[in-house]
């Protein structure tokens, strides 16, 4: 920008000088006065434009710094919320069975228990989360909505699904440590749930992306052993083969 301004000023001066060379003295004096006024006016305009652009750059720099700070604060907040969820889950008793005959097998010697069924309001809240993830791709908003959902509707069938999708969103972002924690909740705390096999497989994927190849292989083998005949077990077999 500075070079462009200097070139513009230089061209203006040269043009003014050339125009004055063939003119009479009286015209030169008048031309000098007019040229100087025009040149002064032009320089003032250019300086004003430079000041304006400098102001815009400074404002943009300030906004970027503010956004970066907000992102750091939000990351810390979400990380603390996930740690809080982990502590809360660990302190709660295991989900109770609904009654005799409620169990059904979801894997190798893993009985499935009946979870609290969602209300209509709960279903709608869960659908809003799904829309944020799959249609709108607003992952940060989805993370906030999932935490609110887990807090509002604890220990329900869709609550376990929400934990699973929390891991999926963190995996996409990617925030791998948070994804690992979310998948671990489903795979270990709710190993009787229908999403446990998928969460166990995605935990293996997350470990692999974190660079822990040995634990990733062990996790995939565990999925094959504990959930034979499931889609997750087949995916784990393919993953190991690759």
CATH of 113-241, one of 2.130.10.10, 2.60.120.10, 1.10.10.10, 1.25.40.10: 1.25.40.10
Residue 217: what pLDDT? 96
pTM greater than 0.85: no
| Domains of the chain, residue spans | 2-16+33-87, 113-241
pLDDT of residue 131 exceeding 60:
yes
Residue 13: what pLDDT? 47
Q: Which two tokens stand for residue 237?
A: 């077999």
Report d(CA 176, CA 205) in Å as an integer. 10
The pLDDT tens digits for 36-58 are: 667 766 787 777 778 888 877 87
Residue 46: what pLDDT? 79
The pLDDT tens digits for 213-227 are: 999 999 999 999 999
Burial-class residue 110 by CB neighbours within 10 Å (0-12, 13-18, 19+).
Answer: middle
Residue holding tokens 């607003």? 138
Report d(CA 120, CA 134) in Å as an integer. 21
The answer to whether 152 touches 125, Cβ cutoff 8 Å, is yes
pLDDT of residue 102 exceeding 50:
no
pLDDT of residue 88 exceeding 80:
no
Residues 6 or more apart from 174 whose CB is under 8 A from it?
A: 209
Q: Which two tokens stand for residue 95?
A: 């989900």
Report d(CA 32, CA 29) in Å as an integer. 5
The answer to whether 197 touches 230, Cβ cutoff 8 Å, is yes
| CB atoms closer than 10 angstroms to residue 35 | 18
- One DSSP character per residue, 173-238 reads TT-HHHHHHHHHIIIIITTTSTTHHHHHHHHHHHHHHTT-HHHHHHHHHHHHHHSTTSHHHHHHHH
- Residue scoring higher pLDDT (87 or 212): 212
State whether residue 116 is helix, strand or coil. strand
Residues 6 or more apart from 110 whose CB is under 8 A from it?
A: 191, 192, 196, 226, 227
pLDDT average, residue stretch 232-238: 96
Report d(CA 223, CA 33) in Å as an integer. 89
Q: What sections of 22-153 are H helices per DSSP?
A: 25-91, 120-130, 139-152
């Amino acid at each position: 920008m500075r070079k462009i301004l200097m070139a513009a000023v230089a061209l203006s001066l040269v043009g003014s000088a050339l125009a004055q060379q063939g003119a009479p003295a009286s015209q030169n004096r008048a031309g000098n006065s007019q040229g100087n006024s025009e040149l002064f006016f032009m320089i003032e305009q250019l300086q004003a434009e430079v000041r304006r652009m400098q102001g815009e750059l400074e404002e943009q720099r300030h906004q970027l710094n503010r956004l970066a700070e907000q992102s750091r604060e939000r990351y810390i907040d979400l990380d603390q919320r996930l740690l809080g969820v982990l502590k809360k889950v660990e302190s709660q008793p295991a989900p109770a069975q609904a009654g005799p005959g409620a169990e059904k097998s979801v894997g190798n010697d893993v009985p499935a228990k009946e979870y609290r069924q969602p209300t209509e309001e709960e279903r709608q809240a869960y659908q809003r989360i799904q829309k944020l993830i799959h249609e709108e791709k607003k992952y940060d908003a989805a993370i906030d909505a999932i935490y609110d959902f887990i807090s509002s509707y604890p220990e329900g069938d869709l609550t376990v699904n929400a934990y699973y999708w929390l891991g999926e969103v963190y995996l996409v972002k990617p925030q791998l440590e948070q994804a690992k924690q979310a998948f671990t909740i489903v795979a270990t705390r709710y190993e009787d749930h229908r999403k446990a096999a998928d969460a166990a497989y995605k935990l293996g994927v997350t470990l692999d992306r974190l660079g822990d190849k040995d634990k990733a292989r062990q996790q995939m083998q565990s999925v094959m052993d504990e959930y034979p005949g499931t889609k997750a077990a087949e995916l784990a077999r393919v993953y190991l083969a690759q």
